[in-house]
Amino acid sequence: VPLEDTSLPLYYGWFLLSSVQEKVKSAAMGFLKTLESLDDFKNHLDDFAGKSVELEQYFEAKAALHCTTKFCNYGKAAGAKEYAQNPAVVKSYGSVFELSLTALFITPRTVGARVSLTEEQLHLWPADGEKEVESDVPAAASLPPGSRAHVTLGCAEGVQSVQTGIDLLQILALQQAEAPAAKELELGSLRYYGEGRWMLELKEPVRAPACFSSFYG
């Protein structure tokens, strides 16, 4: 393997500053606790293998909280080198941005936060970010760039974190087709999308300062 290829990271992304990680984790815990207490949720427990579930235990935390922009797989992923050489990427490397976490969602596979990117942040979003998963979510290509942006908060046993962005795109595709009625909660508007998919649009987005950088592993 040529040296220049091995110098590419596993992925690029925004890494939440440690001071805000706890805030985001406790917002997620609050969401799971609220959800568990709702009859609507209890009526759909079949989605989660029918067991009585303790959501806090059902999901396990993965890596330090971050929002992936480009998964490079050490240069093996398509477009990895081009992304690394993009002037916007080079210029922003190491800078702190403020991410806006606008919704929290769960599925039987993952729990995550939706990140709503600004114009400036979208310059760091890869052109193929959504199209890449068209085989899983056929409607993905018709969603606006940045739709997949998320922070993985946890995954069910045996589930890889790449699933969180796919689950988010699936929910957004359903939302685009026809958003179900919302239940208004103190934290925001909660909607059920079938098959164990729930999304809470936060009344107050969580602002999370995050450093644009990369992870080598």
Distance, CA of 149 to CA of 122 (rounded, Å):
10
CB of 133 vs ligand ACK, minimal distance in Å: 7
Report the amino acid identity of residue 168: L
- Cβ neighbors of 12 (< 8 A, separation 6 or more) are 68, 69, 70, 72, 83, 84, 89, 124, 212, 213, 214
Distance, CA of 72 to CA of 79 (rounded, Å):
8
**Is 150 an annotated catalytic residue?**
yes
CB of 205 vs ligand ACK, minimal distance in Å: 19
Residue 188, Ramachandran bin (φ over 0: left; ψ between -120 and 50: alpha; else beta): left
Distance, CA of 196 to CA of 105 (rounded, Å):
10
Q: Which is nearer to ligand ACK, 53 or 151 (CB)?
A: 151
CB of 214 vs ligand ACK, minimal distance in Å: 11
Q: Which residues make up the interface to ligand ACK (CB under 6 A)?
A: 10-11, 68, 71, 132, 152, 161-162, 164-165
Set 148, 150, 191, 197: catalytic member: 150
Q: Which is nearer to ligand ACK, 161 or 189 (CB)?
A: 161
Q: Which is nearer to ligand ACK, 68 or 170 (CB)?
A: 68
89 near 12, Cβ under 8 Å?
Answer: yes
Residue 149 CB coordination number (10 Å)? 25
**Is 44 an annotated catalytic residue?**
no
Set 31, 59, 66, 172: catalytic member: 66
Q: Which is nearer to ligand ACK, 10 or 139 (CB)?
A: 10
CB of 191 vs ligand ACK, minimal distance in Å: 22
Distance, CA of 186 to CA of 188 (rounded, Å):
6
Active-site residue list: 66, 150
